[in-house]
Chains A and B, each alone.
Chain A
Amino acid sequence: MLKEVHNCLLCQKPLQTQVSWLTFFERFPPIICADCEGKFELSADTDPDHRSLYQYNEPMKDFLHRYKFLYDVVLAKVFQRKLHDLLKNEKRIIVAVPMHPEKLLERTFSPVEELLNAAKISYTPLLEKTTTDTQSKKTREERLNTPQLFRTAGEVKAAHYVVFDDIYTTGTTIEHAKRALLEAGAKSVASVTLIRG
């Protein structure tokens, strides 16, 4: 059968994948090597209201640096299969946590939305970010007193929702997103993030 050589998206090592007729049925051919895959730590989260796929660790820190700060958009694919499996049967409406339009222009892409796009998961744009501030630069005190970070855009039906973000660190962002949706009439809002900080 055809033998195609690709390189691991993270470490550039050649990936030797046998392309068989089965591959054509596979939605997500492997794009990182087993070594790189093994370095990410799956999260043991069991909270029904908040689910994270991975635990934050050194390799994840490196991933985020390359993806969000060096703008290596293609790395959105690294977790596509896992995210797809987690969300493919999701019945609730998925809402991606948005960026401020100014930030989006600066970064040229939305890391959160690209993760979902790569995983072939559809989502609804129901939120808008109202501030260009970043949570990570604030003290705890400042975070607790932050005015609402989001407003709703469009009609929020009385339905069940899941907000999706890349990383859950202090919880402020997720809390604000949930509150905005609940205040606009959502029945319930749960959350999913790729990483638990």
Chain B
Amino acid sequence: MRTKKSSSFQKYKGFLLEPSIQNFFTGRIWARETTPFPKEKIDIYIKRGLLKIKPAIGEGPVCHRCLNKEKKQFIFYHCARCQKVCTYCRYCIQMGRMSSCTELLTWNGPLPKLNSYHSLVWKSRFTPLQEKVSIELTESIKQGRSHLVSAVCGAGKTEILFTAIHDALNEKKRVCVATPRTDVVLELAPRFAEVFPQTTVQALYGGAPQSCMYAPLIIATTHQLYRFEQAFDIMIVDEADAFPYTYDASLQQAVQKAKKEQAPIAFVTATPTSELLELKKTGGYSFIPSRYHGHPLPVPRFSSLWGYDKSIKKKRIPKKLKEWTEKRIAENEPFLIFFPTIELMQQAIPLFRQLDSKIEAVHAEDSDRKEKVLHLRNREIKGLLTTTILERGITIKNVQVAVVGAESKIFTASALIQISGRVGRNKDFPAGDIVFFHHGMTVEMDMAQEEIKRLNKEGFPSA
């Protein structure tokens, strides 16, 4: 994560631009009251017309940060700062409140000097299919055309992006890889930093350390895109179907707002929605039905676990689940057990700890999430209980997976396919157990199993 030492300060209308201010604001839309620079400096840049001001809430009302227009999400109240009725947006309030008297700043000065040499340090081990898709994607991007890459879990999607990104960087273009989940950002950012050693790669997620460098390659959660405007020449949306992305029109708008108008979008996903598949008609389309190591996807099996929630409430792990866990511990295989709710998982964790004290639980608000996943990967713990938060993005060698309460609403077919995709990703351990423990079968469970079988058939037509 380094840049070549910037040679000199840029001069603009006789004024020396401070690189950190120029770098930080280029492409961003940022509240005046929370910039990482002293107020006096910002005032000078505004006075000189280098930073433009726009009110956070526009007529309508509309929030200029998240583009929300939904009336219900605006609250009117008497504001002590502006001494009149003020409105604020509840939609993006988690990222700091935007109200009528909040001012947003955008960069209005010259662009920073950009590097046109970026090296890609990576030895291609592409399968012929991966290679074909990589070329297709690069071609689409070159032509400024959007592209959908549909690839099974474990197909090596990230590697497919390398060439397209590398070409764009060398043309001084700015690239963003956006994904709905922080976990995916945390997993992807170091990989990109490794293969692009001369490029400033920035990881942006809630609570990420702030940097004032200009990053031509940004890996961000879709939420963080609210803070950009017309910034990117190429937008890559990874796991485009992932919750909450599909359900949230506002996040889709964020993608549109963050990129330049003509910038193409590449969607990369294992489970494309019918809406995304529409892209086939107007943009490019690539499909990878098999994994990079050439082995089929592990097919989930179903196992009934009647009244599992009652039994956990009575402080008893259901027999089949207990035996499954004990087997993993005995065989020394790392495991993930997915739960439908945090409550149930928290009731279960002390029971599992009686089997082995080295079992942990993670959920969305767990600040130690990163460490716990790392502990499992390093085999410092035996297994993790988790909510759907770990359904995608994580890769753990030889991991075995169980879903408890697979019939629950939260386990949609797409979620179950993603969860199944955690198993058998490593070429040394291409198989593994994926079991759906359930209290009654659902259509979604069936759909997930059928889809995985179908993909295997496409990937291995002879089998």
Report whether A74 and B77 are in contact in the complex, using a CB–CB cutoff of 8 Å.
Answer: yes
Residue in A7, A71, A110 whose CB lies within 8 Å of B88:
A71
Indicate whether A72 sits within 8 Å of B80 (C-beta atoms), given known contacts A7-B72, A108-B86.
no
Report whether A108 and B80 are in contact in the complex, using a CB–CB cutoff of 8 Å.
Answer: yes
Within A47-102, the residues touching B (CB, 8 Å) are: 66, 70-74
Task: Say yes or no for A105: interface residue by CB 8 A criterion.
Answer: yes
Minimum Cβ distance to chain B for residue A132 (Å): 15
Report whether A109 and B97 are in contact in the complex, using a CB–CB cutoff of 8 Å.
Answer: no
List residues of chain A with CB within 8 A of the CB of B96. 70
Task: Say yes or no for A104: interface residue by CB 8 A criterion.
Answer: yes
Minimum Cβ distance to chain B for residue A10 (Å): 11
Minimum Cβ distance to chain A for residue B444 (Å): 21
List residues of chain B with CB within 8 A of the CB of A71. 88, 93, 97, 99
Report whether B79 and A72 are in contact in the complex, using a CB–CB cutoff of 8 Å.
Answer: no
Task: Say yes or no for B75: interface residue by CB 8 A criterion.
Answer: yes
Task: Say yes or no for B34: interface residue by CB 8 A criterion.
Answer: no
List residues of chain B with CB within 8 A of the CB of A105. 80-81
List residues of chain B with CB within 8 A of the CB of A66. 93
Minimum Cβ distance to chain B for residue A109 (Å): 6
Report whether B97 and A70 are in contact in the complex, using a CB–CB cutoff of 8 Å.
Answer: yes
List residues of chain A with CB within 8 A of the CB of B69. none
Within B56-109, the residues touching A (CB, 8 Å) are: 72, 75, 77-82, 86, 88, 90, 93-94, 96-97, 99, 101
Interface of B is mostly: mixed
A64 to B96, CA, bound (A): 15
A144 to B47, CA, bound (A): 47
Report whether A110 and B80 are in contact in the complex, using a CB–CB cutoff of 8 Å.
Answer: yes
A76 to B147, CA, bound (A): 47
List residues of chain A with CB within 8 A of the CB of B78. 109
Report whether B94 and A70 are in contact in the complex, using a CB–CB cutoff of 8 Å.
Answer: yes
List residues of chain A with CB within 8 A of the CB of B97. 70-72
A107 to B80, CA, bound (A): 8
Minimum Cβ distance to chain B for residue A136 (Å): 20
Indicate whether A74 sits within 8 Å of B80 (C-beta atoms), given known contacts A7-B72, A108-B99.
no
Minimum Cβ distance to chain A for residue B223 (Å): 15
Report whether A72 and B77 are in contact in the complex, using a CB–CB cutoff of 8 Å.
Answer: no
Within A96-154, the residues touching B (CB, 8 Å) are: 104-110
A106 to B97, CA, bound (A): 12
List residues of chain A with CB within 8 A of the CB of B94. 70
Report whether B75 and A108 are in contact in the complex, using a CB–CB cutoff of 8 Å.
Answer: no
Indicate whether A104 sits within 8 Å of B80 (C-beta atoms), given known contacts A7-B72, A73-B75, A74-B75.
yes
Report whether A72 and B93 are in contact in the complex, using a CB–CB cutoff of 8 Å.
Answer: yes
Minimum Cβ distance to chain A for residue B146 (Å): 31
Minimum Cβ distance to chain B for residue A162 (Å): 24
A71 to B99, CA, bound (A): 10
Residue of B nearest to A106 (CB): B81
A105 to B83, CA, bound (A): 10
Residue in A7, A70, A109 whose CB lies within 8 Å of B80:
A109
List residues of chain B with CB within 8 A of the CB of A106. 81
Minimum Cβ distance to chain A for residue B341 (Å): 11
Indicate whether A74 sits within 8 Å of B81 (C-beta atoms), given known contacts A7-B72, A108-B99.
no
A71 to B94, CA, bound (A): 10
Name the residue in B77, B86, B93 with the highest tally of chain A Cβ atoms < 10 Å from its Cβ.
B77
A26 to B86, CA, bound (A): 28
Residue of A nearest to B94 (CB): A70
Minimum Cβ distance to chain B for residue A119 (Å): 15
A167 to B81, CA, bound (A): 24
A163 to B80, CA, bound (A): 22
List residues of chain A with CB within 8 A of the CB of B101. 108
Residue of B nearest to A72 (CB): B93
Report whether A73 and B93 are in contact in the complex, using a CB–CB cutoff of 8 Å.
Answer: no
A110 to B94, CA, bound (A): 20
Residue in B79, B86, B90, B99 whose CB lies within 8 Å of A74:
B90
List residues of chain A with CB within 8 A of the CB of B72. 7
A192 to B181, CA, bound (A): 42
Report whether B93 and A108 are in contact in the complex, using a CB–CB cutoff of 8 Å.
Answer: no
Name the residue in B79, B80, B97 with the highest tally of chain A Cβ atoms < 10 Å from its Cβ.
B80
Residue of B nearest to A71 (CB): B97
List residues of chain B with CB within 8 A of the CB of A110. 80
List residues of chain B with CB within 8 A of the CB of A70. 93-94, 96-97
List residues of chain A with CB within 8 A of the CB of B86. 108
List residues of chain A with CB within 8 A of the CB of B79. 108-109
Report whether A72 and B90 are in contact in the complex, using a CB–CB cutoff of 8 Å.
Answer: yes
A74 to B88, CA, bound (A): 10
A74 to B74, CA, bound (A): 10
List residues of chain B with CB within 8 A of the CB of A72. 75, 90, 93, 97
A52 to B128, CA, bound (A): 69
A170 to B88, CA, bound (A): 33
Minimum Cβ distance to chain A for residue B85 (Å): 12
A105 to B80, CA, bound (A): 6
Minimum Cβ distance to chain A for residue B71 (Å): 12
Supply 16 further A-B pairs (C-beta < 8 A) apart from A70-B96, A71-B97.
Answer: A71-B88, A71-B99, A73-B75, A73-B77, A73-B88, A74-B77, A74-B90, A105-B81, A106-B81, A108-B80, A108-B81, A108-B82, A108-B86, A108-B99, A109-B77, A110-B80
Which residues of B are in contact with A by a Cβ distance under 8 Å?
72, 75, 77-82, 86, 88, 90, 93-94, 96-97, 99, 101
> Nearest 8 pairs between A and B by C-beta?
A74-B75, A108-B81, A71-B97, A73-B77, A108-B79, A104-B80, A108-B80, A105-B81
30 contacts between A and B (CB under 8 A): A7-B72, A66-B93, A70-B93, A70-B94, A70-B96, A71-B88, A71-B97, A71-B99, A72-B90, A73-B75, A73-B77, A73-B88, A74-B75, A74-B77, A74-B90, A104-B80, A105-B80, A106-B81, A107-B80, A108-B80, A108-B81, A108-B82, A108-B86, A108-B99, A108-B101, A109-B77, A109-B78, A109-B79, A109-B80, A110-B80
